[in-house]
Copies of this chain bind each other. A is one copy, B any other.
C-alpha cells in the first residue's frame, strides 16, 4: 500500500490511475479505524478498481477545540488495517498541507439538511465536512466514495453537495456496523469506560424498542422518542443532545411517524458524544431513498 502525505504526490498517483482507465474508490476517514471503516473499504473495492483511504482529523469540522484535541489517533494500527483490507493507497496529509496560509473558501449546504440534528448543535460542523470532502475529492479524484450510514446526516449532505456542485463522484452509503452488544461502531467508543459503555447501550436498545413499537402501530413521535430517552436518562452523566423523528421525504421533523422516517439521537455519555439512528421500517438506507 502506498502512503502519500502531500497533495502533489496523491494527485500524481490518482492521475496515473485515471490515465490507466482505473476507477478509483475512496473512503475518507478521520482514522482511529474500526471494523465499520473496513466495511466501507470492502464496499469501495466492489465498486472500483483501486481504493484510496484518507486519514485526516479535519480541524474545520470540530466546533469544540477540546473534542479535536481528544479525538483518538492510532496511525500505525490504521495503516496496517487499511493494507489488510486491500487499500491500494492511503492519503495522510497534515493540517498545514490541507489548509494553506490564507485559506478563505468554504462549501456550505443550506436548507432542511443543515438546520437540525447535528447541524443545530454543532455550528459550522457540516460546513467543515462539506469543505474538506470537496478538497479531498479534488486531490484523490475518486469515481465513487463510500460513507457510513451511521453518520446519516453527513452522507446526505455530501450527496446533496456532490449533486449540486456536479462533482464527478458517485456517493454510496454502507450500512452501520455494530458490535455484538449492539453499539454502533465509532472511533469515539474507545473513550468510553466499561461503565460508560453499559450506559451507552441504552441508545441502540431504545432505538430498537422504538422500531418495535412502530412495528406494533405506534405513530406518535413523542412516544417513540420517550422510549429512547427512558433507556438513557436513568443513568448519571448521560445527556440527550437531540432525539427526533425525521421524515426522509423532505428531511423535516415530524410529530407523526411513517415508514419513511428515522428516529435519530445524539447523546453525551460521560462527556463522550455518540450518535445513532434507526430507520423505523428496519431497512438500511440508500441515497436514492431520500428525497431532499
Bound Cα distance A131, B110 (Å): 13
Question: How many residues of chain A get a CB closer than 8 Å to chain B's CBs?
Answer: 37
Within 8 A of B (CB), among A133-155: 134-136, 138-139, 141
- Find out whether the CB atom of A104 lies under 8 angstroms from the CB atom of B113: yes
Chain B residues with CB under 8 Å of A168's CB are 11, 15, 138-139, 141
Chain B residues with CB under 8 Å of A292's CB are 102
Chain B residues with CB under 8 Å of A106's CB are 107-108, 110
A102-122 vs B, Cβ < 8 Å mask (1 yes, 0 no): 111111111101100000000
- Find out whether the CB atom of B163 lies under 8 angstroms from the CB atom of A138: no
Whether a CB of chain B sits under 8 angstroms from the CB of A65 is: no
Chain B residues with CB under 8 Å of A166's CB are 7, 98, 135-136, 138-139
A56-83 vs B, Cβ < 8 Å mask (1 yes, 0 no): 0000000000000000000000000000
Whether a CB of chain B sits under 8 angstroms from the CB of A96 is: no
Bound Cα distance A19, B114 (Å): 37
Q: How many copies does the complex hold?
A: 2
Whether a CB of chain B sits under 8 angstroms from the CB of A167 is: yes
Assuming the contacts A19-B19, A19-B21, asked whether A105 and B164 have C-beta atoms less than 8 A apart, the reply is: yes
Assuming the contacts A18-B18, A21-B19, A108-B106, asked whether A100 and B135 have C-beta atoms less than 8 A apart, the reply is: no
Within 8 A of B (CB), among A1-23: 7, 11, 15, 18-19, 21
Q: Would you give the shortest CB distance from A256 to chain B, in whole angstroms?
A: 23
Interface pairs (23), CB distance under 8 Å: A18-B18, A19-B19, A100-B163, A100-B164, A102-B292, A103-B164, A104-B111, A104-B113, A104-B114, A105-B107, A105-B109, A105-B110, A105-B130, A105-B161, A107-B107, A107-B108, A107-B165, A131-B165, A134-B165, A135-B164, A138-B165, A138-B168, A141-B168
